[in-house]
């Protein structure tokens, strides 16, 4: 398919803000805050909105082309408790992309604008027929590249590229 499915060709806000989320009661654990697993769910929901609304990828891509993004690697940092009913906003920046993959960084913000958590992840376009990586259509690769260019001037986030482990002196 040579025509975009949805979304737009940019320019893209730097970073892209995704709004309209709220912490659901079933996301709360016995400590009284959002369970660690639901941070991943919330980040994934925000990524899907970025994919569909801005890039024309995600579920619309799977339905039309039989291919879609799979997250290959993800690292989250938990910076502040998130409580039931709390509104959430996400800021997403595309750090890098090629003909099959994208590398992004996302921040989860409270209604007061404080960063509660971050996620850095790598995704790849995968064919649902073969189960293997597949190049994006030209329009999609061009949009990803445009988003990378539009986000290139953002101040680097301190969490990007950080190793995980016990820090010893």
Place 3 in a pLDDT band, splitting at 50, 70 and 90: confident
CA angle, 50 as apex, 111 and 133 as ends, to 5°? 140
Domains observed in the chain: 18-151 (3.10.129.10)
Kindly report, residue by residue over 86-125, the tens digit of the pLDDT. Answer: 999 999 999 999 999 999 999 999 999 999 999 999 999 9
Question: In whole angstroms, what is the distance from residue 4 CA to residue 65 CA?
Answer: 11
> Is pLDDT above 60 for 5?
yes
> Is pLDDT above 90 for 11?
yes
Kindly report, residue by residue over 51-76, the tens digit of the pLDDT. Answer: 999 999 999 999 999 999 999 999 99
pLDDT of residue 1: 53
Which is it for the CA torsion 145, 146, 152, 157, positive or negative?
negative
Torsion of CA 13, 93, 46, 84, to 10 degrees: -100
């Amino acid at each position: 398919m040579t025509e975009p499915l949805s979304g737009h060709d940019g320019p893209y806000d730097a970073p892209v803000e995704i709004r309209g989320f709220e912490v659901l009661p079933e996301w709360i654990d016995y400590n009284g805050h959002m369970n660690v697993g639901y941070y991943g769910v919330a980040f994934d929901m925000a990524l899907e909105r970025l994919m569909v609304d801005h890039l024309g990828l995600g579920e619309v891509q799977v339905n039309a082309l039989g291919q879609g993004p799979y997250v290959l690697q993800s690292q989250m940092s938990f910076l502040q408790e998130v409580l039931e009913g709390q509104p959430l906003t996400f800021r997403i920046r595309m750090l890098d992309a090629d003909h099959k993959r994208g590398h992004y960084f996302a921040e989860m913000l409270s209604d007061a604008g404080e960063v509660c958590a971050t996620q850095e992840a790598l995704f790849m376009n995968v064919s649902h027929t073969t189960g293997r990586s597949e190049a994006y259509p030209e329009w999609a690769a061009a949009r990803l590249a445009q988003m990378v260019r539009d986000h290139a001037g953002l101040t680097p986030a301190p969490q990007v590229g950080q190793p995980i482990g016990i820090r010893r002196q």
